[in-house]
Amino acid sequence: MPHVNIKHFPKEVTDEQKRALAESITAALIEHLGTRDGAVSVTLEPVEKEVWNDTVVEPEIKGRSDLLIKRPDYL
């Protein structure tokens, strides 16, 4: 039951863009994890730039680096 939570700087994203993103992510999960379409959930979570380090970088990227499969170039 994969769940993907995408945190990003606030940006206007149309329903069509959201649908296309969810479809792409779902297809990748089906291919690489052998899951099924109906088992996948995806969320978009806007995070203000001013709190990005405190709410994303420290707890989720640095704090869980053992789970990180792609490191950002800004660290």
Long-range CB pairs of 9-18, under 8 A, 24+ apart, other chains included:
9/46, 9/47, 9/48, 9/49, 9/52, 10/46, 10/47, 10/48, 11/46, 13/44, 18/44
In the residue annotation, 2 being an active-site residue is answered as: yes
Among candidate residues 2, 46, 59, 72, the one labeled active-site is 2
Indicate which residues carry an active-site annotation: 2
